[in-house]
Amino acid sequence: MKLKSLVLLLASTMAGIVHAHPASAEVPEGVWLIKRKAAVQIFDCKGLLCGRILWLQAPHDSQGQLKRDMKNPDSALRQRELCGLTVIWDLRSTGANNWDDGWFYYPASGKTYSIKMELTSSDALVARFYQGTSFVGETETLNRVLHGTSEVWC
């Protein structure tokens, strides 16, 4: 009887290990500066990471109007204002301080890229933007900034 109970206990323990979730990651919520041209607010959206534009270095076009999503391949979306636009979505935690399998929309080109990110310190978030394989792409370090009150903040 004892052997049978031990085998059952071991089997149930192993099943729990197999179905365990990856390590919980700290969500890097806050505002992050990208290439000193835009600031994106990173936030939790239904257990995934998303990001929306909160600041633009040059938020207005030559006519003084707020910039719009003019390069979007979907003509129906070209009148959306860039301020507040969600440009990062579906980043999934792959372990402590790592996210992958997400998407990044780059309004300047109208293209969407795969993205993965790693929180390397409390104020640095390393993002890899790529199409196809992550070996071919661009890496950018995003720096945490305080949400400001100037007119260029959305």
Would you state the pLDDT for residue 46?
92
Each of the 154 residues of the chain gets a pLDDT tens digit; together they read: 443 333 233 233 333 333 333 334 467 999 999 988 999 999 999 999 999 999 999 999 999 999 999 999 999 999 999 999 999 999 999 999 999 999 999 999 999 999 999 999 999 999 999 998 888 899 999 999 987 756 678 8
Q: In terms of residue numbers, what domain contains 36?
A: 25-145
CATH of the domain at 106: 2.40.128.520
Would you state the pLDDT for residue 7?
29
In the chain, where does DSSP find H-type helix? 2-18
* 104 within a domain of the structure (yes/no): yes
Would you state the pLDDT for residue 150?
63
What token pair was written down for 154? 């959305």
Q: Which of 76, 112, 83, 116 is nearest to 99 (CA)?
A: 116
Would you state the pLDDT for residue 9?
30
Would you state the pLDDT for residue 96?
93
Would you state the pLDDT for residue 142?
96
136 vs 41: CA distance, rounded Å: 26
Neighbours of 29 (CB within 10 A): 11
Q: Name the pTM for this structure.
A: 0.80
| Cβ neighbours for 14, distance < 8 A, ≥ 6 positions apart | none
* 13 within a domain of the structure (yes/no): no
* 2 within a domain of the structure (yes/no): no
Q: How many domains does the chain have?
A: 1
